[in-house]
Structure 1
Amino acid sequence: MVTLQHAIKIAAPRARIYHALTDIDAMAGWHLGAITGAISKGDIFYLERRPGLRFGWRTDDLEVDQSVVQTCVEGPGAQDGKRLTITLSDLPDARTLVELNDEGWAEDHPHLALCNTYWGEALTNLKSYVEKA
C-alpha cells in the first residue's frame, strides 16, 4: 500500500490552521468544492468536488491544535477506507508545519497521481487562506 505524503509551512499559529481544518464554514473558504456535514469525532462531512464526484470523510480523532484523523467512507472507485492524518507542529520561526498523510492506496490505483496533485493544491489553498486571515 502507498501513502501520499505532503507537508507545507504556514505563517500562522496552529490554532488558526486547526480551525480552518475543523470548521465547515472555514473549510469552505479554502477547500476545492462544496462542503457539508460536520467535523467532530464520529461525524461525517462531505466534499463534492464537482457534480457527481463526492467524498464522505468520517472524523475518527481530533486533538485540538495538533491533529485530525479521518477515514473515507464514501467516494468513487476504491476510495472507501483510506485514512487521512493531518498533524500540526510548531517551527522555531513561529510558523506551523502541516503534515498530511493519505494512506491505503494500491500502487497501481489509476487516480493515485491525480489525488497526489489534489492534496498539494489543497494545502496551498489552506496556506493562502490562513495567512490572509
Structure 2
Amino acid sequence: MRDELIAIERKLYNLYKLGEMFASQEDPSLVDTFQLLAEESLRHQKTLSTVDLNLKGELIFPEIRDKPPSLEELIREAIIAEELLARTYLELSAQANGSVRDILKMMGEECLRHSYRLKLMYAK
C-alpha cells in the first residue's frame, strides 16, 4: 500500500508542476499555490517512504491523467484526487497506532486543505 500511496503523491506532484506551468501563462497569481502544493506532495512522498505503515489492503484510486488539456481540468482532477487521498489517509489513521496514526491524520488534513485551496482556484 505504501508504494501505491507514494505513486499517487508523485503523480500529484507532477500535476502541480504542470499546474505551475499553466498558471505562469494563464494566471500568474496561482503559481505560488501550485508550488506549495507540489512541495507538500513531495514531503508526503518522503514521509511515506520513512514511515512503517504495516497496513494491508488494496488501494482503489482513479487514474490521474499526466497531462490534462487545460488548467481548469487539471484543478478539477486534483480536487477529486486530494479528496480521495484525504479520505484514504484518515481511514488508514483510524487503523494505525501512535505516531503513524498522527502522521496519517496530519497528511489527511493537509489533503483536505489542498482540496480547499484548489476549490478556491477553480471558483476564480
TM-score range, shorter chain: 0.3 to 0.5
Q: TM-score, normalised by structure 2?
A: 0.37
Identify the structure with the greater strand proportion. 1
Identify the structure with the greater helix proportion. 2
Q: TM-score, normalised by structure 1?
A: 0.35
Higher relative CO (Cα under 8 Å, sequence separation at least 6) belongs to: 1
